[in-house]
Amino acid sequence: MTSPAPRPKVLIFDVNETLLDMAPIKQAMDDLLLAPDSSALWFSTLLHHSLVMSVADRYADFMDIGVAALQMVGRNRDLAIDDADARQLLSGMRSLAPHPDVVPALERLQRAGFRLATLTNSSQAAVMAQLNHAELTHFFEQQLSVETPQRFKPHASVYRWAVGKLDAQSADCMLVAAHGWDVAGAKWAGLQAAFIARPHQQQFPLAEPPDIDVADFSALADALGA
């Protein structure tokens, strides 16, 4: 029988969709592309090409890849989206609000003595702007961006780099994310993981199961005994 994982000491949070509500950007993108759920196709295209760059040992800012992905999806629908319009839409990523369950749970986790940090595929400037706007900065001891290692999640080296930056051990760290691919990457890299089942988000069936699988941050805090 497999022993349960030890209680994590460090919680590392994904930012977009996990902490912050992407609904306004999704709606704006669906409107621009003249079709419902276009944002899901855009995100899949963005993630695909960020991983292409990592595998090919190349790096570009996540915003630049996001712009390119939006233009690609547009072209498939005979829509020409210029660079300025794409950047204007995606600039809204910096002014997203947190999901309603986030702040009360972070307060509980902080009081319970967990170390809290973030890890995002966005640039350092972007995540700092996002967390500042959402008034979440004070919860996190570090705001980590893949801009430094220049690999995108879920590349295993990114999670291991984050663990090193936090001066911790992988087994003591738990990645908290609303994306099955992110949770899978963290588990494969030796971290614990918690899946937050935001609407329309699914786990990857071929991955190791997460240590915690909950509907929201309140249930996460409960599961961690906070």
Domain stop point among 74, 93, 112: 93
**pLDDT for 1 beyond 80:** no
Taking the C-alpha atoms of residue 24 and residue 92, their distance in angstroms, rounded to an integer, is: 8
Same domain, 55 and 85: yes
Domain count, the chain: 2
Give residue-wise pLDDT tens across range 122-156. 999 999 999 999 999 999 999 999 999 999 999 99
Same domain, 128 and 180: yes
Q: Which domain holds residue 55?
A: 23-93
With 0-12 CB in 10 A as exposed, 13-18 as middle and 19+ as buried, what is 171? middle
Domain stop point among 93, 126, 142: 93
Long-range contacts of 166-173 (CB under 8 A, 24+ apart): 166/10, 166/12, 166/115, 166/117, 166/141, 166/142, 168/9, 168/10, 168/115, 171/5, 171/6, 172/6, 172/8, 172/9, 172/10, 173/8, 173/9, 173/10, 173/11, 173/12
Taking the C-alpha atoms of residue 203 and residue 194, their distance in angstroms, rounded to an integer, is: 11
pLDDT given for residue 5 in this prediction: 75
- pTM exceeds 0.85 for this model: yes
Same domain, 27 and 17: no
pLDDT given for residue 56 in this prediction: 97
Same domain, 14 and 104: yes
CA atoms within 13 A on the CB side of 217: 22
Same domain, 78 and 102: no
Same domain, 142 and 198: yes
CATH number at residue 183: 3.40.50.1000
Domain stop point among 60, 93, 126: 93
Asked if omega into 154 is within 30° of 0 (cis), the reply is yes
4: confidence class by pLDDT, cuts 50, 70, 90: low
For residue 72, being part of any structural domain is answered with yes
Q: Which of 136, 124, 153, 41 is nearest to 98 (CA)?
A: 136
**pLDDT for 96 beyond 50:** yes
Taking the C-alpha atoms of residue 164 and residue 212, their distance in angstroms, rounded to an integer, is: 23
Tokens for 171? 């087994």
Same domain, 198 and 184: yes
Same domain, 86 and 104: no
What is the pairing mode between strands 212-214 and 142-145?
Answer: unpaired
Same domain, 118 and 179: yes
Same domain, 120 and 62: no
Same domain, 119 and 43: no
Same domain, 149 and 206: yes
Residues 6+ apart with CB under 8 A from 84: none
102: confidence class by pLDDT, cuts 50, 70, 90: very high
pLDDT given for residue 214 in this prediction: 98
Q: What mean pLDDT is predicted for residues 156-176? A: 98
Give residue-wise pLDDT tens across range 22-79. 999 999 999 998 888 899 999 999 999 999 999 999 999 999 999 999 999 999 999 9
pLDDT given for residue 186 in this prediction: 98
The whole-chain average pLDDT of the chain stands at: 95
Residues 6+ apart with CB under 8 A from 24: 92, 96
For residue 214, being part of any structural domain is answered with yes
Strand (E) positions, the chain?
10-13, 115-120, 142-145, 173-177, 192-196, 212-214
For residue 2, being part of any structural domain is answered with no
pLDDT given for residue 36 in this prediction: 87
